[in-house]
């Protein structure tokens, strides 16, 4: 889902489009490869090669609710932040080929009535999970319009039955330095850790992505399971999730640990609060080179999520 004009917002917080691939077929679908390598945002615009033919036809004319064109499959899969595979934007695409996302087990624990190790296939096959396509804008230092495939995080949370002591949800990325080359460096403290407040995690816009463009997530996009929280900056989207814990106290996320002067826990998109090293009032829409799009409060989802932060000082709780 992407931003709607306030007058067009329906009662549902999410605009789903049911995937016509069934679950079994979806699980067997291989992640599509990429035709070429983009070294810069400018190069991305030239990448409209053979892989476009592998994208399901229904995506070819799809546009966002405010008539924005979807980014291409190449844009989405060849320009990424995934420090486990490198710090350059094209490093994850180049360096993630040895990563094996199957089989996959997610450890769920902490303040829940039903802890355990859950196989990904079991989570996807559960009758309580809904297969959906979401179209939305993700913002880091740039923005894209991406048709993610996944299911609401709230569905999983209800399934494992958190206790009254569960105030936050902590997520961790897998540690496999033999397959993730930059985990053999000290560029970050591993594993990558992120968290949400419980009411944020239960919001219908927060979801776990398992695919993009109707196909399995490629390794560089966080295969096989990643978090997407569209009203927050992209670093909240922890990838290759292997651990979900329900905790009483606010977890210390990776970038907050790395540099607490520049990164906080909430990371809500806010054009009125600058990063210490740059303005966040405008964003760069890939494959463009310039920050020529105004940044919208909560990435345009203020009507849906603003009440979560009523009374909070958003300059302090950033």
CATH of the domain at 44: 3.90.420.10
Distance from C-alpha of 57 to C-alpha of 233, rounded to nearest angstrom: 30
Q: Is residue 13 part of a domain?
A: yes
Would 262 be classed as within a structural domain?
yes
pLDDT of residue 49: 41
| pLDDT confidence of residue 137 | 74
| Residue pair 145/123 in contact by the 8 Å Cβ criterion | no
List the single range of 23-32, 68-77, 239-248, 276-285 with lowest mean pLDDT: 23-32
How wide is the angle at C-alpha 103 spanned by C-alphas 97 and 105, nearest 5°?
A: 115
User: Is residue 35 within 8 Å of 74, Cβ to Cβ?
Assistant: yes
Residue matched to tokens 């980014």: 71
Residue 315 located in a structural domain = no
CA–CA separation, 71 vs 219, rounded Å?
18
Would you give the distance in Å from CA 302 to the centre of its chain? 19
Confidence class of residue 60 from pLDDT cuts 50, 70 and 90?
confident
What digits encode the pLDDT tens for the residues 205-217?
A: 999 999 999 889 9
Token pair in block for residue 29: 């679908």
**By residue range, what is the domain housing residue 142?**
6-309
66 φ, ψ (degrees, to nearest 5): -110, 30
Where residue 48 falls among pLDDT bands split at 50, 70, 90? very low
Quote the number of domains for the chain: 1
Question: What average pLDDT does the segment 158-175 reach?
Answer: 97
First to last CA, the chain: 24
Is residue 200 domain-resident?
Answer: yes
Is residue 287 situated within a structural domain? yes
Q: What is the sign of the dihedral through the CA atoms of 296, 298, 303 and 304?
A: positive
Q: What is the pLDDT of residue 125?
A: 76
What is the rounded average pLDDT of the residues 39-55? 41
The separation between CA 308 and the C-alpha centre of its own chain, rounded to angstroms, equals: 20
316 in a structural domain: no
Tell me how far CA of residue 66 lies from CA of 2, 7, 190, 270, 282, in angstroms.
8, 12, 39, 20, 18
With bands split at pLDDT 50, 70 and 90, how would you rate the model's confidence at 44? very low
* Three state DSSP letters for 97-153: CCCCCCCCEEEEEECECCCEEEEHHHHHHCCCCCCEEEEEEEECCEEEEEEEEEEEH
């Amino acid at each position: 889902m992407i931003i709607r004009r306030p007058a067009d917002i329906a009662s549902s917080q999410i605009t789903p489009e049911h995937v016509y691939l069934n679950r079994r077929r979806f699980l067997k679908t291989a992640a599509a490869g990429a035709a070429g390598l983009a070294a810069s945002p400018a190069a991305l615009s030239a990448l409209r090669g053979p892989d476009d033919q592998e994208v399901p036809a229904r995506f070819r004319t799809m546009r966002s609710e405010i008539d924005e064109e979807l980014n291409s499959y190449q844009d989405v899969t060849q320009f990424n932040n995934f420090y486990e595979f490198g710090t350059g934007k094209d490093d994850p695409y180049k360096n993630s080929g040895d990563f094996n996302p199957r089989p996959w087990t997610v450890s769920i624990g902490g303040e829940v009535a039903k802890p355990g190790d859950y196989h990904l296939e079991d989570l996807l096959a559960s009758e309580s999970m809904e297969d959906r396509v979401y179209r939305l804008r993700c913002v880091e230092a740039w923005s894209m319009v991406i048709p993610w495939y996944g299911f609401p995080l709230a569905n999983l949370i209800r399934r494992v039955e958190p206790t009254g002591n569960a105030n936050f949800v902590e997520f961790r990325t897998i540690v496999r330095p033999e397959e993730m080359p930059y985990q053999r460096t000290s560029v970050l403290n591993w594993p990558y850790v992120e968290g949400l407040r419980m009411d944020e995690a239960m919001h219908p816009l927060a979801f776990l992505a398992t695919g993009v463009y109707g196909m399995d997530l490629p390794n560089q996009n966080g295969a096989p399971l990643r978090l997407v929280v569209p009203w927050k900056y992209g670093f909240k989207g922890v990838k290759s999730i292997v651990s979900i814990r329900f905790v009483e106290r606010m977890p210390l996320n990776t970038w907050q640990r790395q540099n607490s002067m520049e990164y906080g826990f909430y990371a809500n998109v806010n054009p009125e609060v600058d990063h210490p090293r740059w303005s966040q009032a405008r964003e760069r829409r890939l494959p463009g080179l310039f920050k020529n799009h105004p940044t919208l409060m909560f990435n345009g989802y203020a009507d849906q999520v603003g009440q979560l932060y009523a009374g909070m000082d958003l300059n302090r709780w950033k």
